[in-house]
Chain A
Amino acid sequence: MNDSQRILAERIIAGLNLEDLKPADIDPQAPLFGEGLKLDSIDALELAVIVERNYGIRIPNMDVGKQAFASLAALDAFITSQPRSAPAAPRS
């Protein structure tokens, strides 16, 4: 796991309230949804919020989200590939 993946993993764990989980527990190549982390569609919407707030990248719809959220590595690559606006203000 590289640095940007680890930071992303920390943000996902905090944002989705994944209790009992540390960044090292997330296999960067494993699916985030269904098997793997077993996230569901409420988590997907929340993940879109996390990406927008932390990286200033808006996920226009969940079809884009589905591909971007395939795995931690895929999401990290998606974020790196996107042009950014300034991140939104952090959650108060």
Chain B
Amino acid sequence: MPRIIGCAVATPQGSLDATIHALRAAHGQPGELAGELIGLLHALSLEALAGLRPDLVVLATTKGDCDRWCTALLAEGGGLEGGPAWLARQLGERLAAPAFAVSSACASSPLAVGVAARWLLAGRAQRVLVVGGDRSGAFVRDGFSALRAIDPVGCRPFDADRVGLRLGEAAAALLLARDDDAGSGPFLQGWGASMDANHLTGPSRDGAGLALACTRALERASSGPPALIIAHGTGTRYNDDSESLAYARACPGVPLTALKGLIGHSLGACGLVELAIAQEFHRRGRCAGVVGLTRQGCAGAVEVLPPGSHDLAPGAILSANAGFGGLNGAVVIGDRPAPARAVARHECTTVVEIMPDCWMRRRAGGSPERTPWSEPGDGGALPRLGAREVTGSADASWGRMDLACRALVALGHLLGPLPRECALVLCSESGCAATDRLYELERRAGHADPQRFAYTLPSTPIGETSIRLKLQGPGLVLLGADEQQARQVAEDLLADCPAVVLAWVEADRPPHRAYAELWQVR
């Protein structure tokens, strides 16, 4: 256990199959499309999900329904409709199950799958539905254009002439069951995640962070090297170089494919779409090569499968994704159930809280110490949390951070020394609403700002904190989770890492507070 017992993919064109045909018509790569892939996508249908009764719904998304979110943010009163928390609640109501969102930029899907897998192993549910979805409207398109990351020709993963990504849009769903005998689908054998602790939008040059996530997933699966890697493969120069180095390091000699040349980049949903396809590859024993590849050219020594249909050796499939903030996640599916792993004895060792007028720290067994800010925040808002006051030294990139980023970085600093393998779990309702609003106002005035765009992800505070505190455990944001759900997600993580920072930040809206607990294995 756990086992994949159903999956589905939908796109604006209807099915993924229709999307592929539409993309082919629009971008034209005749003769390059993998017949194998087109055929197998007929098998995936939303009807498979009709009548489900999941015990929990986990939504994997970067920003949810971004267009609706921006309209709500700019309206009088500034609501949060369309955002990840709101979208998760809508899903929960329709499927009559508790629901929350997991947001880790473009690695949201593998992180959400990890949360679901641990939830099942903890015995809290028999069936968990993981749903992935992101709108990629003008907000996202203009942002990636400002970052100069779009390839006008189309995405060409691992190709020597690649220059960027192609946006796609999709929603996908994966139903996971606790029982080994709940169906004939492949097992979810392993999951792993990491933070690069390197750069906010650029992948690490050596791929070490992603390699760490892959190694953790493969260790969790304990089934040896996989038969195939489904790479993130965005088609940007840096991503594919970094990824190829990661796979050369974590699983040398394993052939790899990538799917975004065919279906585009569906942001937070992409990992779930790729897992749905992975389980079909596994079932059929065949896989598709990289559509868009003409001449391989990437930094790492990897075997990239050319376009067309390929036989798949017996064994597991590793699917990996990497996102802004240096957040990485990997999932292994195959024939063998994941070994059980118990959560070790653990305790909350330190608590910190940031309030408008002071910050407080309490260590286990001690009484709270309070330190006033030099200049308290106005009218109940948090103060500006300057670099010198929080860290004691200057910081060149501190000024561009929004208040939510500063608050989480400050919480991390105030908690004291954290182990390198520490996980970061950030809980929020509004995410980065204040920055989204500013970015959207500028964008509508014709100036999509590349620097601001990097901060329009709920998970950016995680990235900033991991970079500054050099943390390389899993990193994720929970949106719309209640306190009990958040604690369970954090507690489950202690099966896989020695410490977890569990933080709540609402920096821009009431209650204007930031609070964090450090949980450590004894």
The residues of A with any CB-CB pair to B shorter than 8 Å are 16-20, 37-43, 45-46, 49, 53, 61-62, 89, 91-92
Cβ of B160 under 8 Å from chain A: no
Nearest to A90 among chain B residues (CB) is B447
A19 to chain B, nearest CB (A): 4
Interface string of B134-155 (1 = CB under 8 A from A): 0000000000001110000000
Query: Would you call B396 and A39 a contact (CB within 8 A)?
Result: yes
- B residues in contact with A40, CB < 8 Å: 199-200, 202, 397
Return 15 A-B CB contacts under 8 Å, by A number: A16-B399, A17-B400, A18-B396, A18-B399, A19-B398, A19-B399, A20-B394, A38-B396, A40-B200, A41-B199, A43-B451, A45-B451, A62-B148, A89-B446, A91-B449
B467 to chain A, nearest CB (A): 10
A63 to chain B, nearest CB (A): 12
Interface string of B433-449 (1 = CB under 8 A from A): 00000000110011101
Number of A-B contacts (CB under 8 A): 63
Residues A46 and B399 in contact in the complex (CB < 8 Å), given A19-B387, A40-B199, A41-B199: no
Nearest to A44 among chain B residues (CB) is B450
Closest 9 CB pairs of A and B: A17-B399, A19-B399, A45-B450, A38-B396, A46-B451, A17-B400, A92-B445, A18-B399, A42-B451
B4 to chain A, nearest CB (A): 37
Report how far A91 CA is from B442 CA in the complex, Å.
7
Cβ of B522 under 8 Å from chain A: no
Query: Would you call B387 and A42 a contact (CB within 8 A)?
Result: no
Query: Would you call B394 and A45 a contact (CB within 8 A)?
Result: no
Residues A41 and B451 in contact in the complex (CB < 8 Å), given A16-B400, A20-B388, A62-B148: no
Query: Would you call B445 and A42 a contact (CB within 8 A)?
Result: no
Nearest to B202 among chain A residues (CB) is A41
Report how far A68 CA is from B450 CA in the complex, Å.
19
Cβ of B454 under 8 Å from chain A: yes
Cβ of B79 under 8 Å from chain A: no
Report how far A61 CA is from B200 CA in the complex, Å.
20
Report how far A53 CA is from B146 CA in the complex, Å.
14
Query: Would you call A37 and B442 a contact (CB within 8 A)?
Result: no
- B residues in contact with A46, CB < 8 Å: 449-451
Residues A45 and B146 in contact in the complex (CB < 8 Å), given A37-B396, A92-B442: yes
A74 to chain B, nearest CB (A): 19
- A residues in contact with B396, CB < 8 Å: 18, 37-39
Interface-central residue, A18, A45, A46, by most chain B CB under 10 Å: A45
A42 to chain B, nearest CB (A): 5
- B residues in contact with A41, CB < 8 Å: 199, 201-202
Nearest to A53 among chain B residues (CB) is B447
Report how far A45 CA is from B400 CA in the complex, Å.
13
B440 to chain A, nearest CB (A): 12
Report how far A40 CA is from B398 CA in the complex, Å.
12
Report how far A25 CA is from B399 CA in the complex, Å.
16
Cβ of B498 under 8 Å from chain A: no
Given contacts A17-B400, A20-B399, A49-B450, 18 further A-B contacts (CB under 8 A): A16-B400, A17-B399, A18-B396, A19-B399, A42-B201, A42-B397, A42-B454, A43-B451, A45-B146, A45-B147, A45-B451, A46-B450, A49-B447, A89-B446, A91-B442, A92-B442, A92-B445, A92-B447
- B residues in contact with A19, CB < 8 Å: 386-387, 398-399
Query: Would you call B447 and A20 a contact (CB within 8 A)?
Result: no
Report how far A7 CA is from B22 CA in the complex, Å.
50
Query: Would you call A45 and B148 a contact (CB within 8 A)?
Result: yes
A12 to chain B, nearest CB (A): 12
- B residues in contact with A42, CB < 8 Å: 200-201, 397, 400, 450-451, 454
Interface string of B185-212 (1 = CB under 8 A from A): 0000000000000011110000000000
Report how far A41 CA is from B450 CA in the complex, Å.
10
Report how far A89 CA is from B447 CA in the complex, Å.
10
